[in-house]
Amino acid sequence: MSEGFRYLDHVTDALIEAYGSTFDEAFENSARGLVSTMFDLSNISPNLEVKIEARGHDLYSLFYDWLEKVMLVILTEKIILSYFKVKISSTEKIGDHCTYFLSCTARGEHLDLEKHNFKIEIKAVTYHEMQIKQEKEKNIVITRFLLDL
């Protein structure tokens, strides 16, 4: 678990739990867990910089959009990422409405299937079994998400 995430037992899909001392760090480690499901992170040279933005009407929709955007960089730009620096912010809450924004500077390199040891294809990020919880007394934020393989 020194990587900031771990794989939990699941029969058919990838169930990942990530953590950090802040929401930003937990989201960073969630992205690392997603990429690590598909590729060997240790073989990625972070020599390309990519900007990623996500938004949501709550933390769950922000988290989903964030993971989807990481997947899109891999699938459309053919860049695999190993470093993420996330900053989450929100608009002023008006009634029950609040919009969350995520900006990220990520680093990685162009995809090379032989060098990066492709493991498995991810079909989709899902809301199923998604959790985001903050344990203030332990100073930890934990995310959990399921990847459809």
For residue range 54-93, list pLDDT tens digits in order: 999 999 999 999 999 999 999 999 999 999 999 999 876 6
The residue behind tokens 């960073």 is 28
Tokens of 148: 């459809």
pLDDT classification of 127: cutoffs 50, 70, 90? very high
Residue 3 has pLDDT above 90, yes or no: no
Residue 53 has pLDDT above 90, yes or no: yes
Closest residue by Cα to residue 99 from 90, 108, 89, 88: 90
CB 53 within 8 A of CB 102: yes
pLDDT classification of 2: cutoffs 50, 70, 90? low
Helix locations, the chain, DSSP H: 23-38, 59-77
Q: Under CATH, which architecture does the 5-148 domain have?
A: 3-Layer(bab) Sandwich (3.55)
CB 48 within 8 A of CB 108: yes
Contacts of 62 (CB under 8 A, 6+ apart): 54, 55, 56, 88, 100, 101, 102
Report the pLDDT value the prediction gives residue 93, as an integer from 0 to 100: 67
